Structure 1
Amino acid sequence: MNIVLFPFMVLAAIGFILSLAAHLASLTGIQVPGGEAVWSLHMGIFVVWIPTVLISSRLTKNTNQRDFWKATLGGCPLWMRRALYGIFAYAIVNFLYFMFVASRHEAAGSEIRGFSGHWMVFYGAAFATMYSVRRAPHLLRDRKCSNGHAVPPSAQFCQECGIKLLSPNADA
């Protein structure tokens, strides 16, 4: 699995870096290098997002919907999870600013500013999801309690019978 994921993870990292560069250029009024080619970042999201969705659906198979990101990013360090949540919050603020302020003034690069915040979220989430699996491949394994009930990867107790579970690494 790691061999298959690695190229997509690299593409997600490159997409994130290019999105960040486009965003910073739009904030400072610098012409984005590559001109109209920056819009190809739209399509690149699909390249990395399809495997991301497949992986995250596997990671969250037995998980409550409210724990989606906790399960998906279970293999990520705390700083990476917090950075992704921060980027997500920033993208919302950036989009609201774009909708209500920048679009009315039609500033140079305002469209790129509006979209690049979203690009950063999608590429960042794709990278973090794949990084999580590379760092903690046990998260993809099906877990069961000793009574045979399916349990989420991060659970400490079975949701059906309440039995204490072994650590995720020991459940193989």
Structure 2
Amino acid sequence: MKKIFFFMAALGLVLGLMVHVISLLGIYIGDTVPYVWALHAGVFVVWLPAILTLKKHPELQQKGFKSNMTPKQFYGILFKGTPPAVVAISAFFFAYMAINFILFMQASMAGMPDIIDGKYVLHNHGEIIRELTEAEYFKMEANTIRGFSGHWMAFYAVAMGILWPGKESEGVRAEAQGKA
């Protein structure tokens, strides 16, 4: 079962990356691909098994989540048995998420695009700042998807690392060695 969720996370990462690249080009696909927002819900679908996997992890059960572990120790346990390439992918997308979020926030500081009374507008908490052209509106909508897709990629990548299929046998082996 864990393998299925791993492959779902991998698929989510690939699809999130595709959406992200398209949005970086300033193309808004929300109208043409209405199910693009399913990637948002998909994050929760793979994170529930990831969290449950962590709760069953022998080292985390022994030390507890709230112990005085350093981040390096925690991530060492989190990604134990995960190939270095998958760990690097997870780390890259997690760091990229932070950078992308800062850039997204800067790009959307002016406000959010919306359609009010049939007009494309930029507003901030309901206060209309200015009218937008159709091109400006869709470019800003693409920026919104870019902001979300940066997070999707990070969460899917980290879920992949947690759910790596080869780790299951190592966790069982570690548990068996602890009892012997």
Shorter-chain TM-score above 0.5: yes
2: CA distance, partners of 1:77 / 1:12 = 16
Larger radius of gyration: 2
Q: Which runs of 4+ in 1 moved over 4 A?
A: none
Unaligned 5+ segments in structure 2 are 114-139
1:73-107 per-residue CA deviation (whole Å, 9 max, x = no partner) reads 11112222122111111100100111122453863
Superposed displacement of residue 12, structure 1: 0.8
Give runs of aligned pairs for residues 2-41 of structure 1, distance below 5 A: 4-32=1-29, 34-41=32-39
2: CA distance, partners of 1:110 / 1:122 = 19
Give runs of aligned pairs for residues 62-77 of structure 1, distance below 5 A: 62-63=62-63, 64=67, 65-66=69-70, 67-77=73-83
User: What fraction of aligned residue pairs are identical, expressed as a percent?
Assistant: 31
Instruction: Classify 1:51/1:80 alpha carbon distance in 2 versus 1 (closer, same or farther; 3 Å).
Output: same
2: CA distance, partners of 1:71 / 1:118 = 23
Instruction: Classify 1:39/1:77 alpha carbon distance in 2 versus 1 (closer, same or farther; 3 Å).
Output: same
Superposed displacement of residue 144, structure 1: 6.7
Superposed displacement of residue 130, structure 1: 1.1
Superposed displacement of residue 69, structure 1: 1.7
> SS in structure 2 opposite 1:32?
coil
> SS in structure 1 opposite 2:163?
helix
2: CA distance, partners of 1:55 / 1:112 = 30
Is the Cα–Cα contact under 8 Å of residues 86 and 160 in structure 2 kept in the other structure?
no
Superposed displacement of residue 29, structure 1: 1.9
Residue 88 (structure 2) aligned to one of 79, 82, 91: 82
Q: Which has the higher strand share?
A: 2
Tell me how many residue pairs correspond in the alignment.
Answer: 143
Instruction: Classify 1:19/1:70 alpha carbon distance in 2 versus 1 (closer, same or farther; 3 Å).
Output: same
CA RMSD, 1 decimal: 2.4
Unaligned 5+ segments in structure 1 are 149-171
Q: Which has the higher contact order (CA 8 A, sep 6+)?
A: 2
The aligned counterpart of 1:139 is 171
> SS in structure 1 opposite 2:62?
coil
Instruction: Classify 1:19/1:103 alpha carbon distance in 2 versus 1 (closer, same or farther; 3 Å).
Output: farther
Residue 153 (structure 2) aligned to one of 120, 124, 136: 120
> SS in structure 2 opposite 1:95?
helix
TM-score (norm 2): 0.69
Is the Cα–Cα contact under 8 Å of residues 103 and 110 in structure 1 kept in the other structure?
no
Is the Cα–Cα contact under 8 Å of residues 97 and 150 in structure 2 kept in the other structure?
yes
Superposed displacement of residue 72, structure 1: 1.4
